[in-house]
Chains A and B, each alone.
Chain A
Amino acid sequence: MLSQRWLRLMPLHLMLLPALALLLIYSYGPITGILIAFQNFMPSKGIFGSPFIGLDNFKYVWDLPDTRQVLTNTVVIAFFKIILNLAVPILLALLLNEVRIKLFKRSVQTIVYLPYFLSWVLLGGILIDILSPSQGIVNDIIKSFGFKPLFFLGDPNWFRFTIVATDLWKEVGFNTIVFLAAVTNANPSLYEAAVIDGANRWKQTLNITLPSMLPVIILLATLSLGNVLNAGFDQIFNLYSPQVYSTGDILDTFVYRIGLIDTQYGVATAVGLFKSIISCLFISVSYFLAYRLANYRIF
């Protein structure tokens, strides 16, 4: 009996084997690799031969003049992205919900959704072209109104704005569609009752449509908490330059430069570990809140 049960369960273990092996090597391997953060890592000696130096890498980074600025940049950019990527799609979903012409509604959705599917390499290439102060079309328009051209990607005062705005351009379609799906969840009989009670569209939106979206809003809001330190490596890496490090350099780009350009492996791993630990806390809290507030379970 026991062996028969074993035979029956064997395939289940076998099915998991390839994924487990890959995770063990390529996800848990790097997790073991965080030992490098506590070492004066030398590639020639490897992870088992390099000397351990305790928390020296962390102390070193903390004393660097740039570190606190990088941390501030990361949190500020991520914060504005989180807020706008929730607020604007909610507004858009509500406005699209008022559109009665199906073709128009679908066209707007499809157009707004397009940048979401393109890489930051392509979008970066497009933005570098259109935002160029000398030949970009955006500055041509600004100049035609008699203003001076703006260095959207080269001026530290404009860089964060450009990053948050262009991120919105890429991401807005995704959440809009999720919220729009939530809008259609509202019970039609509620609207009929509201019309009989004399509620106008504005009242209906406020008292029926928005509350029916609330579970999804809460869910996406709590889940986005996990992104407080994700300011968007792909985007910033493709758009920044040394002139805007003061407002645009973030943890991930900082790690990249320390680690892969300056080859200070130990220091870069220490910064990465710091980010991983904080992110892990935030993601755990966000899942817990999503579970408590929106009844969301990961598995």
Chain B
Amino acid sequence: MAGQTSFSRIVFNIFNYGFLALLSLMALFPFLNVLAVSLSNKSAAAAGLVKLWPVEFTFASYRFVFLRDEFFTALGISLERVLLGAALSMLVTVLAAYPLSKEEKAFPGRTLYAWIFVFTILFNGGLIPWYMTIKMTGILDSLWALVLPGAVQVFNCLLLLNFFRGLPKALEEAAFVDGANHWTILWRIFIPLSTPVLATVTLFTVVGHWNSWFDGIILMNSPNHYPLQSYLQTVVVKMNTSTFANIDPVQARLLSEISDRTVKAAQIFMATIPILLVYPFLQKYFMAGIVLGSVKE
């Protein structure tokens, strides 16, 4: 595109860059403020002195979180759930996407099966029947309650099946001639050819599990079994547990520097770090994902 350098273009560019920079700053501002609060002394935070930079810099709030068990117990449960949940979900979803990607001619019954899947997007039973069903299957208060009910990701399944369908038919036919069966074709041909889209779907599944909080609160009986986001919901949002309950003498020594607010800010930031580490990759794969599968023209 030809670079016009008319006066109006220069004015537009100044405003455009300025506006976008301001917008980015506004989007980032809440995170920077909370980070600064988490690294500040409690009196500075309470006096409203903390803007984007810590005042009376201290790691005390983080030290306090590290001295307590709650955060890391919940983190452990979250990691278990992410690993088990994402593995199970990917296994079930890929296994379902392959047969569904076949033509009705090649796999009679495929369209009926596909509608059984799609109907669950269109209609659901709602909160109470969902809870009752999980209760009836006897998995309440266990890790299975967090991974089994949502294991089949129908949207991801559709994304994968649409991608599978775009793969050259000739590969499959040649493999059949060589005596391969469907298991080998899925494992040896389809999966290796789909790594970008599989990476996208896996990352989104992982982030989905990491971010889930409501199921933990509803399906786990005691807060000791909560995954991280559910634990944080009770601490940071509902505020029904006191930050400084059952405090021991070592932890008490930090009290001159920390407050409820700075400790909460520290926990919020600590739970954000894993996402900060993976989301630039997510963004890259996500672009690949939308080009490959979801938006078809």
Interface string of B97-129 (1 = CB under 8 A from A): 011101000011100011011101111111111
B218 contacts partner chain A, Cβ-Cβ < 8 Å: yes
Distance A13 CA – B183 CA, assembled complex (angstroms): 12
Supposing A126-B268, A299-B161 touch, asked if A12 and B102 sit within 8 A by C-beta, the answer is yes
B177 contacts partner chain A, Cβ-Cβ < 8 Å: no
**B30-56 interface with A by 8 A CB criterion:** 30-31, 33-34, 37, 45-46, 48, 50-51
Most buried by A among B28, B30, B283: B30
Residue positions of A touching B, CB distance < 8 A = 8-9, 11-13, 15-16, 18-20, 22-23, 25-34, 36, 47, 92, 95-96, 98-100, 104, 107-115, 117-122, 124-130, 135, 137, 140, 169, 177-178, 181, 188, 191-192, 195, 200-201, 215-216, 219, 233-234, 237-238, 252, 255-256, 259-260, 265, 268-269, 271-273, 275-277, 280, 283-284, 294-299
Supposing A117-B275, A181-B291, A297-B296 touch, asked if A26 and B261 sit within 8 A by C-beta, the answer is no
B236 contacts partner chain A, Cβ-Cβ < 8 Å: yes
Residues B125 and A30 in contact, CB atoms below 8 Å apart: yes
CB nearest neighbor in B for A237: B214
14 new A-B contacts at CB < 8 Å, known A26-B133, A33-B128: A12-B182, A16-B99, A22-B152, A23-B117, A29-B129, A108-B21, A119-B229, A122-B232, A122-B236, A125-B232, A137-B50, A181-B287, A255-B127, A284-B122
Q: How many A-B residue pairs have CB under 8 A?
A: 273
CB nearest neighbor in B for A267: B128
CB A276 to nearest CB in B, in angstroms, measures 6
Q: State the 10 A-B residue pairs at the shortest beta-carbon distance, nearest first.
A: A272-B126, A33-B129, A30-B125, A125-B236, A19-B96, A119-B211, A30-B129, A29-B133, A12-B99, A11-B182
Residues B122 and A260 in contact, CB atoms below 8 Å apart: no
CB nearest neighbor in B for A178: B290
Distance A12 CA – B182 CA, assembled complex (angstroms): 7
CB B146 to nearest CB in A, in angstroms, measures 12
Point out the residues of chain A lying under 8 angstroms from B100, CB to CB: 16, 299
Task: Provide a sorted-by-A list of 14 A–B residue pairs whose CB atoms are within 8 angstroms.
Answer: A15-B96, A22-B92, A22-B152, A99-B16, A111-B24, A117-B279, A121-B232, A130-B34, A178-B290, A234-B214, A237-B214, A260-B128, A269-B126, A272-B129
